[in-house]
Every structure is written in C-alpha cells, then in structure tokens.
Amino acid sequence: MVDFFIGLFLASLITALFTTRLYRLLVWYSFNSLTLGVLALLIGIKIDDNAMLITGIATIVIKAIAIPYFLKSFSQKFHFIRQIQPNIKIQYAIILIPAILVFTFYLAKPITHMIANNSNYVAISISSLFLSLLLMMEHKNVAPKITGFLSMENSLFLLGITATNGMPMLVELGIFFDLLMAIVVINLLFRREEMKNA
Amino acid sequence: MIFYITTIILLLLLAPILLSFIKSLKMLLLFKRPAPLLQGYKNFAKLMQKETIVSQETSSITTYAPFLVLSPLLVTMFFLPPIVHGAFYVSFVDAFTITGLISLSTFFLMLLGLDSASAFGGIGSSREAFISALVEPAMVLTVFSVSMMAGDLGIGQAGVNLAEHFPKEHMASFLFAGISFFILLVAENGRIPVDNPETHLELTMVHEAMILDLSGVYLAIIETAASVKFVIFASLFVSLFIPVGLEYSAPIAILIFIAKLFGVAIAVAILEVNTAKLRLFKVPNLLGISIVFAFLSLITFYVLGA
Amino acid sequence: MFQFDTLSIIFVGLILLGAVPNLFYSFGYLPHIERKIHYQVHYFAFILSMIGVVVAGNALVFLFFWELMSLTSWQLILTEAKSQETIKSARFYFFMTHFGFVFLLLFFLIVTDGNLEISFANMKNIATTFKYPTLLFFMLVFGFLSKAGAVPFHVWLPYAHPEAPSPVSAMMSGVMLKVAIYGFARFLFDVLYPWPLEWGIVVLVIGSISSLVGVLYALSEHDIKALLANHSIENIGIILIGFGMGMIFDSLGLETLSTFSFIAALFHTFNHMSFKSLLFMGAGSVLHQTHTKNMEKYGGLIKSMPITAITFLLAAISISALPPSNGFLSEWMIFQSMLGSSNITDMSLKLAIPFAIFALAMTGGLAIACFVKAYGITFLGLQRSKNAKHAHEVNFLMKLGMVLMSLVVISLMLFTPFYISWFDKTLVSLHHVSVYTKIFPNGIWNMHSVAVHGGVVSPLILLASLLGVTLLLFFGYKALHVKTRIHHTWGCGYKTSAKTQYTATGFAGPIRRFFNWLYKPNEHFHTEKIGQHETKFTDSNYEVHAKPLFEASLYESSKKLTNIASYWVYRLAHFEKTRYAAMIFNLMLLVLFSYRIFSHEFSWATFALESIVMIISIKVLIIGDKK
Amino acid sequence: MLELLLFPAFIIFGLSFIKSDKAKRLLAFVSFLILIPTVKLISLPKPFHLFKDYLVVDDLNAYILFVSSIVGIGVTLALMTLDKHVKVSKNAYRRFYRFFAIFWIGLIFSILSNNMGIYWIGLELATLSTVYMIKTNHSTAAYKEAWNYMIVGAIAISLILFGIILIYASAKPILGEDAMNFNLLLAHAKEIKSSFLFELGFATVSVGMFVKMGFFPMNLWLANIERASFYPVAALFSGILESAIIIGFFRFSKIAMEINYDHLFTFVFIYTILTIFIVSFLIYRAKDFMRLFSLSGIEHMALIALFWVSGGTFAALLHFGAHAFLKPALFLSTGVLESNGKYKIAGALKGYKGKKGTIFWFLVSLFLLAIISLPPSPMFFSEIYGFGAMIKVAKSGDNLLSMMAAILILLILLSVIFYKFVEVYQSMKYEGKVYEKKVYVTELFSLIIFGISLIILITSPVMNYLRGIS
C-alpha cells in the first residue's frame, strides 16, 4: 500500500513536469501533496505514531488544500501568465527523467542499515528532488518555480516520512511554520510589485 | 733590490723608445724614411715646454684625470716580474690587481674623453668602453689559466716559477694563453687592427679621440701613459710566455730581456703592416678569438693536466 | 621571539650603516615631499621592520616584519604617486613581493609543522625529516631571491626603485635587498644545512645570469635611477656567485674555501650597500635639482654640484670594482674563491666554473663602461637642458648624508681586515671554520686568498702608493709652473655646444649593437629632410628602448594568460544568471555521483560513465543549443 | 536566558510599527540591546542548556553570536544615515527593522541550536526575512534579485534540509529521535552503520550551504543581490547570515570528520579550490565595490571552510571573526564611497575633508589592506595558521606532492586576488578626480566599532579563547 502511494507521488510529479497550464500544475501539486499526506497517515498508523498522524493531516490541510488555493488566488490577483511552456525539449525530458531514476537507484544501492530497511525510498526521494529541480529549471516564470520549490519541500517530506519514519515533532512543525512564512513573503513580494505598478 | 730598481728605470726609459721603434720599423717596411728611435723623447721634451690649453667647457676632471691615468700604470711598473734570477720582486700583488689598475687608468681616460664636451671625446670613450668591456673577460681567463700553470697568481712569483720550471706538459694550454694574451696586448694598446694610433680620422680613432683636446704637459703625460702601458704589457708577455734567459748572469739576462721586448715590438709592427684596421663592430670577433683561446687554454689545462 | 646571534648582528650593523646617513639625507630631502607625515611614518616603520626581520627569532615574527617591510616600502613608493607609471610600478612591486611571500609562507609552514613559534633549531629537525628538501630549497630561492631581485624575478626592480623618493630608493636598493640575502643565508644555514652539490650550482647559475643581465640592461637605460636599479640586479648576482661558490665548496668538503667564499659574499653585500646607497643619493640629488630622471637632460653638473659629483665618483669607482676601492676587494675575493675551483675533483663542475668567471669578468668590464657613461653623461661636459644649467648644490643635510655614506665606503676600504674578522666570526657561529688567520697571516697589510696558488692583494699599500704617485705627479706638475690658457674645446671649426656632445644613448651604442640579439630594441628614427637631399635635414630624432626580454616573455605572457582565463571564467559564471536551477541540478548530480563512485567503489568504467553523463547533462541543461 | 536573548528582537519588532520619525533613532539604539545578552552568554559556564537539549550554548556558538551581534549593531548604526546617501522611504526603514527582528530571532535559533532541525528552522527564518530586506530598495533590479534570492535560497535551504534528513536517517537506527542532536551525533558518530548514507547526507547539506554562501558554481548570485540591495543589507548578508551557515558547516563537518576524514577533506578541498579558482578570476574582472567585496567574501568563506576541515580550528575561527568584522565594515563604507557617482573606483578615497573625512579614508584603507591579509590584520595570522594546518594534513597523508601543488595553486590564486585589491586600492587613492564627499558621524562610529573589534580580536585573551574552542 505504501509503495503504491509512493508510486503515485512520483507519477504525479512526473506528470507535473509535462504540464503546460498553471492551474493544472497546481492541481498536480495538490495531488502530489495529498499522496504525501496519505503516506504519512498510513505509516503513522502502521508504526502507531501520533506525530506522524498530525504531520499527515497538516500536510493534507496545508499543502494539498491551502497552498494551492493561495497560489491560485495570487495568480488571479496578480494576473499571472497561465500559459507555461517548458523550455526543455520534450525529447530531452523523455530521456532525462528515466535517466534520473536509474541514477538515483544506482546511487542508493550501497545504502544499508536503515530504519525502514528499504533504500529504494531514499532513491525515490532523491529522484523526486531532482525532478523538482527539473521543474524549476524548465520554466522561466515565477509561479512554476514556486511550485517547483514546494515540490522540493514535498520530496523532503517523502524522505522524512518513508526513510526515517518521521522526524521529531518540533522540527516538523517548525518546517511547516517556515513554509507558511515563505508563502507570506511570496505574497509580500508580489504585493510590492503590484503597488509599484499601480 | 738594485736589480728591481734598475728594471723599473730601464722599462721607463725603454717605453718611448719601443713605440718609436715600432713606428720606424713600420715605416721601414713600407719603404719610407724611418723616424729616429728617440722620437718619443723629442716629442716629450717638446710637449713639456708648451703651454697647456684648457678648454673652458671642461671641469676639474680634466685637471686631475691625466695624473690618475698615469699613476696606476706607474704603480703597476713596480709589480712586474723580475728579469734577473734572484732579483727582488713584489710578492703581495697578484694579476687581478694589475688588471684592475689598468682598468682604473682606462676609466679615467674615458672620463677625460667625456669631459671635453666634444663629439670626439664621446666617440673615443664609447669605443674604448666597448673594447675594454670585452677585453676584461679574456684578460681574467688568461690570467687564471696562466696562474694555474705557473702555480701562483702573484704575477712576480708566477714569472719566477715559469722561468724555473717551465710547464712542458702544458705546452698546448700555454700556447693558447699566449695567443690570447697577444691579442689583448694589441687591443689594449690601441694598435692596428683594433685602433690606429697614427690617424686622426673620426672613423678610426679610439685612443686619439679621447685625448684630442689635451695639449702640452697633459698630452705628454697621456702619451707617456700609453707608452708605459705598452711596455707593461710587453714585459708581462715576455716574462710569462717567453720565460727564458733568467738563469744567466745579470747583464746578459737584462740584455736578453730587452731583446725579447724588441722582439714583441717587431711582432706588433709586422702585424700592423700586414693587416688593415678592423671596423669597430668587427673588433669583437678578434676579442672573441681571444676569449675562446683563453677558455681553450683553461680547458686543455684541466683535461690534460689534472 | 628575537635572537641576536652574530649573523643577525652584522645585518643589524649593515642596516644601521645604511640607515644613519640615509636619515640625514632623508631629512634634507623632506621639504621636497608633499605628504610628509605619510612619508615619515612609513620611512621609520620601514627601517624598523628591516631590523625586525633580521633579529626575528621565529617564523611568525619573521614573516610579520617581512610583510611589514613590503607594506611600508610599497607605501613609500607611492609617496609621490603622481603618474600612472608610479602607480603601476608600485602595484607590480607589491605583487611581486607577495608572490615571494607565498613561497616563504609555504616554506615556513612546512618546516614548522604549522607551529610558527618554534625556534630555527627546531625547524631544522623538522626539515631533515621532510622528504623533499630540494622543494624547500626552491621555495627559499623563489621567496627570497624574488625579493632580492635575482633573474628571473628581477623585472620589478628597475620599475619600483626609481619611482620611490630618492632616500627610499637608496634604502631599498642598498639595504632591503640585503635583508632578502640575510633571509636566504639564514635559512640555508640554520634550517637546510647539509646542502647537496646541485643547490650551490643553482645559486651560482642564478648569480652569473643575474650579474650579466643586470649590467646589460643597465647599459641600455637612460633613466639614471633605473640604471642604478639594474645595477642592483648585477650586484645581487655577484653576491650570489660568492654564495653559490661557498655552497659548492661546502658540499665538496672544502671548508676553508667555503668560508672564504661566504666572507666574500658578505663583504660584497656590505660594499654594495654602501656604494649603491651613495649612488642613489647622488642620483637623488641630481634629480632634486634637475627634476628629471632622464640622463640625456643632464650634463656638466660637476661644476654646480661638486660634493655630489665627488661622492658619486667615489661610488662609481667602487661599484666598477676598480682598485683600491672596497668594491674591488670583494670582487677580488670572489674571483679568488672561483680560482679555488681548481681544487675540485669533479671534472664537469671544474670545467663549468670558468663560465661563471667569464660572466663575472664580463660584468666587471661592462660595469666600468656603464659607470663611465653614468658619470660622464651626468656630471661632465656641457649642460644638456635648462634645468641642468640652473642646478646648484643640494642642501646641507643631503650633502651630509652623502658625505657620511662616502665615509662608510671609505671605511669599508680602509678597515677591510676588521670587517673580515667580523664576517669570519659570523661564519664560525654558523659552524664553519675560521679563515681569518689565513686571509691575514701576517698583519693587516696583505690579504691572501685561501686557495692553493691563490693571489695576494694589499689594499692599504695599493692605496698609499696610488695616492703617493698621483700626488707626486701632481705636485711635479705644479712645480713646473706651466702656463695655462683657457679656450674653447675644439669642435672641428664648429661652435662647441651641448647638442654636439655624445649622448647616453650614443655612448652605449656599440655595446647595444653588439648585444642586439638580446635587447631586441625598439628603435625610432625620424628625420625631417630638406627637399630631396639624402644627407641634409633640419631635424632628426633617434630613440631606442629595450624592453627586457624576461618581461616580454615571462611576465606579459602570464598576464595574458590570466586575462584569457578570467575572460572565460567570467563568461561561464554568467550562465548562473539564467540557469541557476540547472547549475544546482548538475552540481548535485556531480557531487552525489562522485561520492558514489569515489567513496563507495571505484572503477574507471564508472568514472568514465560519470564524465560522459556530466558532459551531456551540462551541454543539454546549461549551455543549451546555439541560437 | 532565552527570553533575554529574544527580548530585544521583540522590542524592535514592536517599535517598528510606530509611525514616527523618532522611532528611527530609537530603533537604532534599541538594537544595542542585542549585545548585552550575548556578552552574558560568553561568561556563562559551558555548556549551558538554554532550552532543554535543543539550544545549548558552548564556546563556539557564543563567540559566533557575539561577533554577529557586534556586526548587527554596526549595521544598524550605519543605517541611520542611509537616507543621506540613497533614496529610501520612511516605511522602508521600519520594515527593515521589522524584518531585522525576525532575522535576529532566526539567527539566535540557528546559531545556538544543538539540533539539526532547529538549526534549519532558524536558518530558513533568517533567510526568508532577508528576502524582504532586499526589497526595501524599490528598484527593478532589487525586485528581480529578491525573487532570485527567494528561489535560489529556497533551493539551497531545501537541499540542506534534505541532507539533514538523510543524516537523520543514517543515525536514527542507533539514536532514535535524538539523532538530530549535534552533540549526541558527534559522540556516536563512529557507531553509524551506514556511513555512505551519512556521507550522501553530508554532501547534500554541504552543497546546500555552499550554494548559499556563493561557492562554485553559484558565485555571482550573491554579488548581484548585494549590488541591487542597500548596502546595510549587503553588510548583514556577509556579516551575519553567512555566520549562521558557517557554524552549521562547522558542526556537520565535525561529525563527518569522525565518519571518514579523507572523504570529507578531499571533497571540501576540491570544492573550495574550484571556488577560489573561479572567484579569483571573477575578482580580477570585478569593476565595482559591491561585487568585489562580495566575491572576496566568498573567497574568505571558502578559506574558512578549508581551514576548518584541515583541523585549523583556531585559524578558521580567527579568520571568521576577521571576515565578519571586515566585510560589513567595507560594505558600509561602500555606501559612502559610492554616494557620488556610482561604481567609480578611481579616486574613491579622495576628497574627504576634515577630521571625519581623514578618519574615514584612513579606516577604509586599513580595512582594504587588512582584507588581503597584510600584517597586522588578524587575517594575516589566521591565514598563516590555516595554511599551516593544511600543510600538516598534507604531511600526514600519502600524496604529499600533489597536496603541495594544490596548496601552491591556491596561494597563487590568492595572489591574483591580492593583485586586484592592490590595484583597486591604488586606484582609489591615487587616480581619478577629486569630488567633495561627506561622511556622517554614525557611519564613522560604526566603522570605528569594527576597527576596535578587529584589534581586540588579536589580543591574547581572545586568541586564547579561540584556541580553547575545539
């Protein structure tokens, strides 16, 4: 079951890479976060860890619902360009994405002695990190870049959840706090610009 | 001691005669009427009676330099090797000092040339500087090589040593050093093919150009310096490279020595008659030969001797 | 922290001998300087830092004062920074000192194991265990000889020294270069002691080349201070020849000869300090009066500046190594030590040393030519410019400085045995045998070479006899009461004027032409002809500039290289503006990949794979397609 | 104690909402308060548990926090006359202080933390607040750079967190939830079974930090940002924010040393040499003060990192202190230097009249010369000790010659930088035309503070204190 959701996570990220519309990108991001939340819940139930459950719920509430919503409202408020064209050729991307996956599995092969005892989780996390970077570099506009940054955050969480069975509660809450702070700052950044234009 | 002083006086007296001798020999060889042998003395006496004309463009250097040109050479006279067996000689001065003293004399001569503010003085000094700069290494190397063979760097001791134990096993080195030294003798004394002491043509002058503005006693001093320099070189050459005749009794030895000096003069004269003066920029070729021979002499000494 | 052994003390002595006359001169020079406080602060700090270097007892203190010395001297060059030229040369100087410092730092770090406060003796223990002592030796060579101005690290010297105010030029050329020699000696003796034969040969070769190159470029200079600076290169070369001979003899076990050579080197160090300071002071006085460094604008200054002229003449004789000056004595000693090479059994080495003799002799000959030029063109003849006509003798303090410095020169000439006994003690303290009794076996009158069949010289007798004969001649002349008439110089019927004199360029002409292959000079010949005549002209101008070979080849090319490298780096760096995400992506890829293959299991195949992947990825993601 | 530390920040935060002219001055003086608790921290017995196991004070972070607070004070002092040199709105001032308060809180957490997670949270907080500080300058360039910083900074920060989680994953099997505790991790580093996982994590963390500090290949982004923002912000960046990052690097590398020293050293060595290679040539081409100083800041950070991993703890800390004082001082003086005719290097040190002017140019030239480690700058000593440590490592290793060659190359690259700085200094002092320029007391005062701190840095008690930190 866990593996299934991890697969879903990766799949949604890859799909996001090929998206050309901003809203659809946000949808995929939202879906991506949702799978992450579900994963947290699943693992939390399995190892009977309340902290994980809280993380899972917070993920779903903040990342899958609140942040995409905010971003969408920003985009309406500040008139983003919604047509987003990846500037890495699709031919390259097709080769690149499997190559990244192969590479990360190769990379993770020597890893031993883990809590979850499965180095593939690390591999998938790293590859999703790379894919998020890919997402950032294939777009010139700010909005997809922010989405890329947020997916990076997701891939961290994926690592945190699957490979380590959750980080200390305090740290996770702190990370959420910072995420919100980031959203506030992004908002402020946009607003200044708008004020100036007005 | 008596021989020592005699030698010095003898050399001083011989100096003008030797130059006049070369001149007259050359004239003879060129089928001209030769000048008398005592022409040098006559010139000297004439100049001593003349008034001195000092250029107003010159400075105190012109006033003092002629003495400084002559005095190092006179001092050198005291340091020459003995010509008679067992005679006193100065042991505390070596070959480097002698080359240094000669350079000192040249140094002031060149300053003298520049002091007159004329173009000629500059020409002469510049050329002299050029030639003596190239003479220096050849000189040092030759001296080095000879001192090796003689077993002493002190010039007096070297002369004695060579006379007593002639280094037959180093004949090749000895010969090379001799050739090198002879070229130096020609170059340092401004003889053809390096310089022509008889013309006053700006293309060829070196020594004469520097002293063009001197007259009277000053000129006499400089002329004396030139002849003394020649006699020093000639006597060095004969003592070091033809070290024979010392074992005879004193009068005979002195006669042999004088004969050797005249022999050198004859050689110079014959050379002068048979060669043309070299262009200034060909002079390094000649001096180069001298340097190469000096090197060769040293190397053969090392390779064959040691 | 500080140590005062004999070596340090004699260098303190050297600095003081150089600094005290300079102090007077400097005060006399002061009204000429605009930024007085700046100048004085740095001037005194400079002197102090030099003393600090020579008495430093550990590496940290040494390096501290060393850098302070560079810093203050750099600021002193900038005291009168009016022209771009000064700024450029100051920069060049400072860079070169830093370049040397890099090697020194590396040297000290290696021989101290990072703990810079240990004593020199402890350094030796560490140095002996170090695997590559030759590396250490070369660091010393690079570090100290770049400061001392030996070839090929000499290029800065003719630029930097002339630009400083004259007292400082005197100080830098006369004293600072010696501090570098001190450092070289100190660490060769104290830290790297048993020297392989090759080291001595390296020093000897550097010395020979430096002496020749220095004097050759000095000849082609028209800038009087640059000429003197080039002569510093030459003299450093001579010192190094002595030093190198000492090292060679030491490694061959010829102890007395070794000591003798080192004494010769030290003696020449002192002599060079004295006469070079004096020359720079004289040049400074001339510059002070004529406001130009160009020798072609001088002439006839002996009439208006007699004291300067006489002291300059004394120094010129000394630097030309003419007897009976102190310069002659030290050069004589160096020659004698080279004659000692006949004791060497190694045939190839024995055959090689005559080349060094040749270089030294050639240097001596050219130095005479050069100083006849410098002295003759500057002080003799007619004034070549208005400024030279209006020149008059400098103020009292400057004169006093020069006179004091000439006293130092004369003292070195007269009290040679005393100085040599001092140097002898130094070498004894550095675990060499004493040779004083061999040099002066019977009294102070005769100075003997320690080599077998070596020569003898008696400086005092020589001096006395020269003086005596000259005075005799002079008074004889006076007694004759010759009638004297004053008249013009004969100019072939033309009027004698400043313009018809020989110029400095002309004077050096034959030698320059002979060494044309080395100078590769840049000649400008310009004539305004009258009509179609070949020989008649109204105006003619000839200029020649020799750009030093080393500068053209070594320095300009490295500068070019830096420019090219920086250009490409700059271009590459600008990718990050637009492609930062791709950059980080590739970086991550590279780092993780490398960790994987290098730290986990290494095989060339995977390494090759990594390289290929990285190249493709960089090409695709960062560089992109050409538009 | 924690309250005391955070208290000034809260006051500043509160005061920044008052819309009054007096607030500006008041804020500057309130910011002096941040020094008091940090002084207290130094005198406390170590290790001092500030907040359970999460915030622990030891000699190292007390020193770094102290240095940072001095820098903070200097920067706020210079800020008072910012409007005399550049156009800046009053609101911008208050906003600056508001975010400065947040920044300071984040900084305290990250510097004092004994927990990787807390460290990261503090760092992120500080980073995000600086994003906004860039924006106080209302120019298009600043806007663009703020976004740039937001995104690149976010990537870097995310990488750090990613690495932290990897490290956590590697240590969790032996330490459980405490695997985030630096001290515990250090103590049990040898027991970590999957060293490869740890190293992956460490590599990721380091890459994140290096990117954040502007190492290879991201060398220009910081420079561009500092160019676009006001100079006090640039000073904060180079003086304080980087100290928060470098302390993290100190702690992580300390653990990595225990795991596998060779790997760590090779990695950092190659990386920093690459960085310095690029930076030195960029400096060689730099044409304005901001870029010049910012690039040289990168160079110094690289050196600090290198010294630290070579075992030259003392050298690294001394260098760090010197850098933290010198760079902000130079950035602050840039404001004055550039106030007439931007970007002009030639003659920048000319035209200062009066006592204030003289002190100003004198101090600036001292700082400029100190940054290229001429004695008696602390950098002179730190570089000597640092390179000494490197030589020691080289000697103990197998490939001495290649190490020596690398160190030599490094030193030659530093000489290139040296050359450029000498050129810049000479050009500032001796070239160009003279314009009348003004200096204000507060700026001068802040420069003097930095100057005095530098002198204090080389006094023996401080040196001994630094030597005591292991």
Tell me the backbone φ, ψ of residue C447, rounded to 5 degrees. -115, 120
Residue C200 in any domain: the answer is no
pTM of the complete model: 0.89
Residues C357 and C497 in one domain: yes
Residues C288 and C417 in one domain: yes
Rounded Cα–Cα distance for residues C142 and C263 (Å): 23
Q: Report the phi/psi class of residue D434: left, alpha or beta, with left for phi > 0 and alpha for psi in -120 to 50.
A: beta
Pair type for strands B52-55 and C484-487: parallel
Rounded Cα–Cα distance for residues D383 and D387 (Å): 6
3-state percent breakdown (helix, strand, coil) of chain A, nearest 5: 80, 0, 20
What local confidence, expressed as pLDDT, does residue A110 receive?
A: 83
Q: Which two tokens stand for residue C148?
A: 């001392």
Residues C130 and C144 in one domain: yes
> Which amino acid belongs to residue D182?
F
The whole-chain average pLDDT of chain C stands at 88
SS (H, E, C) C320-335: CCCCCCHHHHHHHHHH
Q: Is the pLDDT of residue A197 over 50?
A: no
Residues C452 and C353 in one domain: yes
Are residues A132 and A148 in contact, defined by beta-carbon separation less than 8 angstroms? yes
Mean pLDDT of C272-278: 94
Q: Is the pLDDT of residue C43 over 70?
A: yes
For chain C, what is the total number of helices (H) and then of strands (E)?
A: 28, 5
Tens digit of pLDDT for each residue in A150-183? 899 899 888 888 888 778 877 888 888 888 888 8
CA C88 to chain centre: 19
H-only helix segments in C191-254? 197-219, 224-252
Q: Which of residues 27-66 of C touch D (CB under 8 A)?
A: 60, 63-64
What local confidence, expressed as pLDDT, does residue C453 receive?
A: 75
Residues C234 and C291 in one domain: yes
Are residues D231 and D84 in contact, defined by beta-carbon separation less than 8 angstroms? no
Mean pLDDT of C522-530: 82
Residues C409 and C260 in one domain: yes
Residue C201 in any domain: the answer is no
Range of the domain at C470: 208-502
Contact yes or no, B with D (3+ CB pairs under 8 Å)? no
Q: Which two tokens stand for residue D330?
A: 């130079």
Q: Which one of A80-94, C493-507, D442-456 scores highest in mean pLDDT?
A: D442-456
Rounded Cα–Cα distance for residues C300 and D432 (Å): 39
A171:D180 CB<8 A:
yes
Rounded Cα–Cα distance for residues B289 and B130 (Å): 16
Q: Which two tokens stand for residue D348?
A: 């920048």
Q: Which of residues 105-164 of A touch D (CB under 8 A)?
A: 107, 110-115, 122, 125, 129, 133, 136, 142, 145-146, 149, 152-153, 155-156, 159-160, 163-164
List the one residue out of B48, B120, B49, B204 whose CA is nearest residue C490: B120
What local confidence, expressed as pLDDT, does residue A83 receive?
A: 80
Find the residue in A nearest to C595 (Cα): A107
Tell me if the bond preceding C521 is cis, omega within 30° of 0: no
The whole-chain average pLDDT of chain D stands at 86
Residues C457 and C334 in one domain: yes
> Which amino acid belongs to residue D402?
S
Residues of chain B scoring pLDDT < 50: 306
Find the residue in C nearest to D205 (Cα): C588
List the one residue out of C270, C401, C408 whose CA is nearest residue C330: C270
Give yes or no for D278 touching C (CB within 8 A): yes
Report residue C277's pLDDT band, with 50, 70 and 90 as the boundaries: very high
SS (H, E, C) D53-80: CCEEECHHHHHHHHHHHHHHHHHHHHHC
Q: Is the pLDDT of residue C477 over 50?
A: yes
Residues C175 and C187 in one domain: yes
H-only helix segments in A48-168? 50-58, 67-77, 90-108, 119-137, 142-158, 164
Q: Which two tokens stand for residue D388?
A: 């000494």
Alpha carbons within 13 A on the beta-carbon side of B97: 35
List the one residue out of D211, D44, D239, D206 whose CA is nearest residue D130: D239
**DSSP string covering C77-88:** HGGG--SHHHHH
What local confidence, expressed as pLDDT, does residue A117 receive?
A: 64
What local confidence, expressed as pLDDT, does residue A198 receive?
A: 37
Please enumerate in sequence order all residues whose Cβ is within 8 A of that of C81, keeping only pairs 6 or more positions apart, or say none. Answer: C87, C90, D426, D429, D430
Please enumerate in sequence order all residues whose Cβ is within 8 A of that of D69, keeping only pairs 6 or more positions apart, or say none. Answer: D34, D35, D38
Q: Which two tokens stand for residue A32?
A: 């991506």
Q: Is the pLDDT of residue C444 over 50?
A: yes
Residues C136 and C176 in one domain: yes
Tell me the backbone φ, ψ of residue C500, rounded to 5 degrees. -85, -5
Location of structure tokens 């410092």? C101
List the one residue out of C79, C71, C76, C77 whose CA is nearest residue C98: C71
Give yes or no for C587 touching D (CB within 8 A): yes
Q: How many other C-beta atoms are found inside a 10 Å radius of the C-beta of residue C336?
A: 27
Share of chain C above pLDDT 70, in %: 100
Residue C199 in any domain: the answer is no
Which residues of C lie inside 8 Å of A (Cβ-Cβ)? Answer: 579, 581-582, 584-585, 588-589, 592-593, 596, 600-601, 613, 620-621
Query: How large is the C-alpha radius of gyration of chain D?
Result: 21
Q: How many other C-beta atoms are found inside a 10 Å radius of the C-beta of residue C572?
A: 16
Q: Which of C145, C169, C194 is the last residue of a domain?
A: C194
Tell me the CA end-to-end span of chain C in Å, nearest whole number: 65
Q: Which two tokens stand for residue D239?
A: 């003086």
Question: How many domains does chain C divide into?
Answer: 4
Location of structure tokens 């007390």? D62
CA torsion C318-C324-C327-C332 (nearest 10°) is 150
Tens digit of pLDDT for each residue in C345-382? 888 888 888 899 999 999 999 999 999 999 999 999 88
**Which helix H or strand E contains D11, and what residues bound it?**
helix D2-15
Q: If you ran DSSP here, which 8-state letter would residue B279 be given?
A: P
Q: How many other C-beta atoms are found inside a 10 Å radius of the C-beta of residue C554?
A: 14
What local confidence, expressed as pLDDT, does residue D287 receive?
A: 84
Rounded Cα–Cα distance for residues C455 and B156 (Å): 11
CA torsion C587-C592-C598-C599 (nearest 10°) is 140
> Which amino acid belongs to residue B139?
M
Among B107, B141, B217, beta carbon nearest to C480: B217
Pair type for strands C537-545 and C522-529: antiparallel
Find the residue in C nearest to B126 (Cα): C507
Tens digit of pLDDT for each residue in A52-64? 888 889 889 988 8
Give yes or no for A126 touching C (CB within 8 A): yes
Rounded Cα–Cα distance for residues C545 and C553 (Å): 16
What local confidence, expressed as pLDDT, does residue C227 receive?
A: 93
Report residue C625's pLDDT band, with 50, 70 and 90 as the boundaries: low
Residues of chain D scoring pLDDT < 70: 339-343, 470
Are residues B153 and B191 in contact, defined by beta-carbon separation less than 8 angstroms? no
Q: Which one of B222-231, C533-542, C547-556 scores highest in mean pLDDT?
A: B222-231
CA torsion C260-C261-C262-C267 (nearest 10°) is 90
Q: What angle do CA B283, B288, B289 make, to 5 degrees?
A: 105
Entry field: residues in chain D: 470
Residue C63 in any domain: the answer is yes
Q: Is the pLDDT of residue C397 over 50?
A: yes
Are residues C210 and C240 in contact, defined by beta-carbon separation less than 8 angstroms? yes
Q: Which two tokens stand for residue D84?
A: 């005399």
What local confidence, expressed as pLDDT, does residue A141 receive?
A: 82
Residues C363 and C417 in one domain: yes
List the one residue out of D466, D408, D301, D457 whose CA is nearest residue C109: D408
Specify which residues C456 forms β-bridges with: C448
Tens digit of pLDDT for each residue in C398-418? 999 999 999 999 999 999 999
Specify which residues C528 forms β-bridges with: C539
Q: Which two tokens stand for residue C450?
A: 């320690």
Q: Which of residues 17-76 of B touch C (CB under 8 A)?
A: 48, 51-61, 64, 67-68, 70-72, 74-75
Residues C493 and C513 in one domain: no
What local confidence, expressed as pLDDT, does residue A193 receive?
A: 55
**DSSP string covering C514-566:** HTHHHH--EEEEEEEE-TT-SS-EEEEEEEEEPPPHHIIIIIHHHHHHHHHHH
Pair type for strands C456-457 and C447-448: antiparallel
**Chain B residue numbers touching C321 (CB-CB < 8 A):** 100
Residue C203 in any domain: the answer is no
Q: Which two tokens stand for residue C462?
A: 């020589």
Three-state DSSP at B179 gives helix
List the one residue out of D161, D177, D200, D184 whose CA is nearest residue A165: D177
Tell me the backbone φ, ψ of residue C58, rounded to 5 degrees. -145, 170
Give domain limits for chain D. 2-468
Tell me if the bond preceding D47 is cis, omega within 30° of 0: yes
Nearest-neighbour CA in chain C from A160: distance (Å): 19
Are residues D64 and D320 in contact, defined by beta-carbon separation less than 8 angstroms? yes
